[in-house]
Amino acid sequence: MARYNECRVRDGRDGVLGAAEEQSRKRRKIRRKVRETDSLPAAPSVLMELDQMLESSHPRIATIAAIVAKDASIAARILNVVNASEYFDGHEETWDIRQAVAMLGVEEVRRLVSALSVVSAFPTTLDHVDYRDFWRHSIGVAGAARLLAVYSYSGLAVDPEEAYTAGLMHDVGWLLLECCLPDIADGIMRMSLGESMPRLKAERALMGTDHGDIGGMLLERWHQRPEIVEGVAWHHDPGSAEKHGRGLAAIVHLGDRICIAGRVGDSGEGISGGPSASEMEAVGIPVSKCSRMMENVLEAARKMSEIIVHAG
């Protein structure tokens, strides 16, 4: 893939070994390690059950409420969110999950369940992760990606709810490394700090790939749709994604850049700068509308991330 078509390196055996081959070897090695890890974070069961139900039948409030109620902690936090004044101003408090589901509507419940359950799938304390900043960023990107999918031109055919899911999970690959392969995460951080390079660059130097690719592996294991797996795997290099996930990868990439530039949380990648006008135009958002739209996206991203991080 394009990411690996760079300069060449030497090895001691036969003279020249392609840098692309070397990167590819490192990537195969880390992917094998991830596959062989038997302690990968488990898929959030309420979310999986909810998605299965939504795919197979016409959604009914009572059935959705029953699924959500299976996880008392998620149900309680959804009630907290519903009762937060920022969310639904001026209504009576409710402590009935069925009523809360009816008030929120199916899509909003699904968004909340996915955010709350994905956050809970990972430990709150990890060596090189600021938990709140990380999830502020991820939930912010989810909200931003969803709005971008709504605003982008129809030919891109990115489903806003898939954009939300991919945005939410786009950086989980780094959490996986921190929880399951801490020696590798340590090595990357040492290189990043020691050589003053962005963590993303150190990841590619040491693993031949980045946290997007690792996150894609986890999402495959979690039976997420191929478009979402691809969109997450290539969110730092959308042009290299397979066709079926390229639009989603481009949207997540933009949402990521907008949240990085607007300082909505921080996932610790050490990169900076917002999206370019040409990147925005590529998904059908004209330059004249960029700044206004970015303000809207940022406002939605901030609101969503604050509500959910506080509910957690």
Residue 117 or 267 having the CB closest to Fe ion: 267
- Spell out the SS3 assignment of the chain: CHHHCCCCEEECCCEEECHHHHHHHHHHHHHHHHHHCCCCCCCCHHHHHHHHHHHHCCCCHHHHHHHHHCCHHHHHHHHHHHHCCCCCCCCCCCCCHHHHHHHHCHHHHHHHHHHHHHHHCCCCCECCECHHHHHHHHHHHHHHHHHHHHHCCHHHCCCHHHHHHHHHHCCHHHHHHHHHCHHHHHHHHHHHHHCCCCHHHHHHHHHCCCHHHHHHHHHHHCCCCHHHHHHHHCCCCHHHCCHHHHHHHHHHHHHHHHHHHCCCCCCCCCCCCCCCHHHHHHCCCCHHHHHHHHHHHHHHHHHHHHHHHHHC
Angle at 175 between CA 184 and CA 183, to 5 degrees: 15
- Min dist. Cβ of residue 261 to Fe ion (A): 12
Residue 78 or 268 having the CB closest to Fe ion: 268
Distance CA(149)–CA(250), nearest Å, equals: 10
Q: Can you give the binding site for Fe ion, defined by CB under 5 A?
A: 171, 256, 267
- Min dist. Cβ of residue 273 to Fe ion (A): 13
What residues contact 281, with CB distance under 8 A and at least 6 apart? 287
Residue closest to Fe ion (Cβ): 256
Residue 78 or 168 having the CB closest to Fe ion: 168
- Min dist. Cβ of residue 137 to Fe ion (A): 6
Residue 71 or 245 having the CB closest to Fe ion: 245
- Min dist. Cβ of residue 289 to Fe ion (A): 24
- Min dist. Cβ of residue 26 to Fe ion (A): 18
- Min dist. Cβ of residue 80 to Fe ion (A): 26
Cβ neighbours of 86 (radius 10 Å) = 10
Residue 74 or 275 having the CB closest to Fe ion: 275
Residue 75 or 142 having the CB closest to Fe ion: 142
- Min dist. Cβ of residue 234 to Fe ion (A): 10
- Min dist. Cβ of residue 257 to Fe ion (A): 9
Residue 51 or 162 having the CB closest to Fe ion: 162
Residue 50 or 141 having the CB closest to Fe ion: 141
